[in-house]
A and B are shown apart, each in its own frame.
Chain A
């Protein structure tokens, strides 16, 4: 079942949806996240952002990092939920603390914009750096662009903070 939930087959049948619904109703955070995905994408079910947000919220409350990230996106955009950048940032942070890289990037982006969190280039740089421990080309270029408008001391501090965080969490990044 875990395999089915984590990686659904290309052609999703009604039987699979029912099974996922049953698991979700029983309280499986993974099934709740998967059901949120199905409703968000309109895959095997009628597309319904309100239901997607609801299932993401139930899963997120149980600590599912992927659901926390998705819920954060819904809240940031105000997609069938009250737009709330502060709450979005809080969910991104909870997922980021679990080392979910997209959530770390999102949290960094919010710091740069000052949306839902106090505006801070240092925090923005730090979280975006944390989102890419291997520093891929795109993230490298984002950070290079960002650093142009920062003091070198601040860049160094953000980089150092990020490295400390990465080292402390290097076992479970995803």
Chain B
């Protein structure tokens, strides 16, 4: 039996039971969603919430250890707590009682684990609703810790939380991806917005996962620090984001120069088991 088959067996057993700790969520929907995501981890989707950091992390878990992913969701639903490696997820009562509005566009199976993960980590003040942006931003240090606690033995965190990174950093991210690391990019979501991809942001606000190596054509690749725009340069790659593993950067078939890519790029976290 494959790891996916083992994980689906857990879901089959889950479907037959009745115990629940999470009264606002629907068991059949959770079971169906689990089966789908065990086969297609890219379907994990934050919807309109700010849970991109957890989404990227849980996608890694679902991809590498689908049994751990299924068990975590099931235990959260039935007991209100779970553990991935040594990472404890213990969502507070307020979160468990919260009814997610349709406008959040997030599936029950994703909400239960993404919001729980964020809430467990957010010890300063609790995540109270899907619109609670300030508390939902996952900082790189937290993500690094989640990965280590979940059993990733090698975790490389090369991010900035205020200033942009340079092309050598992006090249390193791409090389690590090509070597088999899972690579999450810390960006401003303007990079994925056809109306804003040539704007310059002042802070990162989104995590995406590389799903292809980066194709970087530029004269500036060897120079750390800020670059002078090479008008003939181009940067292109695919990422997982918002439930899609094949989102192309740049979007809409446009061209993205090295400078404008860096204006919304804040580094990466790479990991492998």
Q: Does A77 contact B (CB under 8 A)?
A: yes
Task: Choose from B139, B140, B164, B200 the contact partner of A145 (Cβ within 8 Å).
Answer: B200
Q: Are B202 and A142 in contact (CB under 8 A)?
A: yes
B-contacting residues, A29-80, CB 8 Å? 73, 76-79
Interface membership of A114, Cβ < 8 A: yes
Q: A112 contacts which chain B residues (CB < 8 A)?
A: 202-203
Residues of the A chain whose Cβ atoms lie less than 8 Å from the Cβ of B223:
none
Cα-based distance from A114 to B140 in the complex (angstroms): 19
A141 adjacent to chain B (CB < 8 Å):
yes
**Which of B142, B200, B203 contacts A109 (CB under 8 A)?**
B203
In the bound complex, what is the Cα–Cα distance between A106 and B160 (angstroms)? 11
Give chain A nearest CB distance to B238 CB in angstroms: 25
State whether B124 touches A142 (Cβ < 8 A): no
Interface contact B134-A113, CB-CB below 8 Å: yes
Q: Return chain B residues, CB-CB under 8 Å to A77.
A: 139-141, 161
Asked whether A108 lies within 8 Å of B202 as measured between CB atoms, the reply is: yes
**Residue A105 contacts which of B140, B162, B201 (CB distance < 8 angstroms)?**
B162
Shortest distance from the beta carbon of B161 to any chain A beta carbon, whole Å? 5
Is B162 within 8 A of A73, CB to CB? Answer: yes
Give A72's nearest chain B residue, CB to CB.
Answer: B162
Interface size on A, residues (CB 8 A): 29
**A109 in contact with B202 (CB, 8 Å):** yes
CB distance from A100 to the nearest CB of B (A): 13
Q: Does A83 touch B at the CB level, under 8 Å?
A: yes
Question: Is there contact, CB below 8 Å, between A83 and B163?
Answer: no
Return the chain B residue nearest A73 by Cβ. Answer: B161
Q: Tell me the B226-268 residues at the A interface (CB within 8 Å).
A: 226, 228, 263
A75, chain B: closest CB distance, angstroms: 10
Among residues 99 to 145 in chain B, which have CB atoms less than 8 Å away from a CB atom of chain A? 123-124, 134, 139-142
Pair B142/A138 contact, Cβ less than 8 Å: no
Check: B199 CB closer than 8 A to any chain A CB. yes
Cβ B139 vs Cβ A114 within 8 A: no
Residue among B142, B162, B190, B228 making CB contact with A78, cutoff 8 Å: B142
Taking the closest CB of chain A, its distance from the CB of B149, in whole angstroms, is 15
Residues A109 and B162 in contact, CB atoms below 8 Å apart: yes
A105 to B164, CA, bound (A): 12
Q: Chain B: how many interface residues by the 8 Å CB criterion?
A: 22
Complex Cα spacing A113 to B206, Å: 13
Is A115 on the interface with B (CB-CB < 8 A)?
yes
Report whether B199 and A145 are in contact in the complex, using a CB–CB cutoff of 8 Å: yes
Contact between B161 and A83, CB atoms less than 8 A apart: no
Which residues in window 131-171 of A have CB below 8 A to B?
136-138, 141-142, 144-146, 148
Q: Are A85 and B161 within 8 A (Cβ)? A: no
Q: Are B226 and A138 in contact (CB under 8 A)?
A: yes
- Output the nearest chain A residue to B140 by Cβ-Cβ distance: A77
Q: Give the residue among A73, A84, A85, A142 with the most B Cβ atoms within 10 A.
A: A142
In the complex, the answer to whether A79 meets B141 with C-beta atoms within 8 Å is yes
A146 to B203 alpha-carbon distance, docked (Å): 12
Give the residues in chain B near A144, CB-CB below 8 Å. 199-200
Complex Cα distance A112/B161, Å?
Answer: 14
Distance in angstroms between the alpha carbons of A102 and B164 in the assembled complex: 12
Taken together as a complex, chains A and B put the C-alpha atoms of A113 and B135 apart, in Å, by 11
Q: Residues of A contacting B205 with CB < 8 Å?
A: 113
Across-interface contacts of A82 in B (CB, < 8 A): 123-124
Which of chain A's residues have a CB closer than 8 A to the CB of B141? 77-79
A148 to B263, CA, bound (A): 16
- With CB as the reference atom, state the residue of chain B lying closest to A79: B141
Min Cβ gap B23→A in Å is: 30
Beta-carbon contact of A83 and B139 below 8 Å: yes
Most buried by A among B134, B200, B201: B200
Interface residues of B (CB under 8 A from A): 123-124, 134, 139-142, 161-164, 190, 196, 199-203, 205, 226, 228, 263
14 A-B residue contacts at CB 8 Å? Answer: A76-B161, A78-B142, A79-B141, A83-B123, A102-B163, A109-B162, A112-B202, A115-B134, A136-B226, A137-B228, A141-B199, A141-B263, A142-B200, A142-B201
